[in-house]
């Protein structure tokens, strides 16, 4: 057994997430086919690529045609730099002075959305001319300068210290059935783009994340920022998304299968009692691994192709299933979400969205990377 086979065997002993890098590449190409030739593709790989793995996903997306990367923190950008990933990378969140030397002179671009942030950057430029994208708040009410205050911010730009390379906004409800709010935001952003280009004619404009990319072609502009759909999930079922391939399958194993009589309480406080003699299967993942506690008595998992209900409260390290008459044995593989049990469905049962399920996966869950259906690398998890 070689090193990869040994590591893979250890990774698959309890709970693991398989990440299909070919699916990531497919999704880049499928979405790119919808875009005008002038529109660039930013792969949003913040939050450890939505829990899929920052560096492997970034590399797969770039190889498939993405020309930009989007991260939230300078630490994420520094991780890409350290791994040798060379691409235009926009840091969407604030960058403190302590981080500037780590990203200065790299392919990183900074986001600026307030006059104080701009002035702080310019005071710390240290002879480096930073490329920035101006964030405009057109209705999200989260980050960025309002259109009304944009001229004031632009008037403070020192071109010897800052190059305004782009201007961006974020849509608050681009996937909604009623397009009125998004159209209003786009109209406001059009005014902002005019103001920016009066001073910086070459500034690129970008507004569309995954939902707006599919629902509002007029929002494609110079670049789109693809997050959740990079990983194979449509932002909403009614959107005209291309055929996407889910990149992640979350799997676990049955750690115990026990026949119990009717009336047996299961898990903390006995919130579930068996109605008849049955088999209770204990699965080796819990909320410490990222499985929502809200799925107690509400979720399902797949064992041997059969959907089995989650019963009792989800524990920190374990979750129980009522297998009924389905043959279940210790060591059987369990699909938590993946083929046959889409992540959208699991998220809906937990009252959340796939983004959260991906991002909350615990660090003790190893990621197994696949190409052509075969494992090529394992990252994370616990050493044995």
Distance separating alpha carbons of residues 310 and 334, to the nearest angstrom = 12
Q: Active site includes 268?
A: yes
The strand pair at 367-371 and 16-20 is best described as parallel
The strand pair at 68-71 and 272-273 is best described as unpaired
**How many CB atoms within 10 Å of residue 30?**
17
Query: Catalytic one among 46, 161, 231, 287?
Result: 46
**Residue partners of 23: CB distance under 8 A and separation at least 6:** 232, 245, 246, 247
Query: Catalytic one among 149, 268, 287, 318?
Result: 268
**Residue partners of 38: CB distance under 8 A and separation at least 6:** 222
Q: Judge whether 108 and 77 are in contact, CB under 8 Å.
A: yes
Q: Which two tokens stand for residue 365?
A: 């869950």
Q: Active site includes 38?
A: no
* Residue 306 phi, psi (nearest 5): -105, 135
**How many CB atoms within 10 Å of residue 355?**
18
Q: Which residues are catalytic?
A: 46, 268
């Amino acid at each position: 057994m070689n090193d990869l086979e040994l590591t893979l065997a250890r990774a698959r002993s309890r709970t693991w997430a398989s990440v299909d890098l070919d699916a990531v590449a497919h999704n880049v190409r499928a979405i790119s086919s919808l875009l005008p030739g002038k529109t660039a593709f930013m792969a949003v790989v913040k939050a450890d690529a939505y829990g899929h793995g920052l560096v492997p996903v970034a590399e797969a997306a770039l190889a498939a045609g993405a020309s930009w990367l989007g991260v939230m923190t300078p630490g994420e950008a520094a991780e890409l730099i350290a791994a040798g990933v060379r691409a235009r990378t926009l840091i969407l969140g604030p960058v403190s002075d302590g981080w500037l030397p780590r990203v200065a002179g790299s392919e990183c671009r900074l986001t600026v959305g307030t006059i104080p942030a701009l002035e702080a950057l310019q005071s710390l430029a240290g002879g480096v001319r930073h490329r920035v994208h101006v964030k405009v708040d057109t209705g999200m009410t989260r980050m960025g300068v309002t259109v009304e205050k944009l001229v004031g911010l632009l008037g403070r730009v020192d071109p010897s210290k800052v190059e305004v390379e782009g201007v961006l906004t974020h849509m608050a409800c681009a996937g909604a059935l009623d397009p009125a709010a998004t159209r209003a935001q786009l109209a406001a952003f059009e005014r902002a783009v005019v103001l920016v280009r009066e001073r910086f004619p070459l500034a690129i404009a970008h507004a569309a994340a995954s939902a707006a990319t599919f629902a509002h072609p007029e929002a494609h502009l110079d670049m789109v920022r693809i997050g959740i759909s990079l990983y194979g999930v449509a932002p909403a079922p009614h959107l005209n998304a291309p055929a996407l391939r889910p990149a992640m399958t979350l799997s676990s194993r049955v750690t115990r299968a026990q026949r119990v009589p009717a009336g047996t309480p299961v898990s903390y406080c006995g919130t579930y009692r068996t109605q008849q003699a049955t088999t209770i299967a204990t699965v080796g993942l819990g909320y410490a691994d990222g499985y929502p506690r809200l799925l107690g008595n509400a979720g399902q998992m797949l064992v041997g192709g059969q959907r089995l209900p989650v019963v009792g409260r989800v524990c920190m390290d374990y979750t129980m299933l009522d297998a009924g008459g389905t043959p279940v044995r210790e060591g059987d593989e369990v699909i938590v979400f993946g083929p046959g049990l889409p992540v959208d469905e699991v998220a809906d049962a937990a009252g959340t969205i796939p983004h959260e399920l991906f991002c909350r996966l615990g660090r003790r869950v190893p990621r197994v990377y696949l190409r052509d259906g075969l494992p090529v690398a394992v990252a994370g998890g616990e050493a044995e």
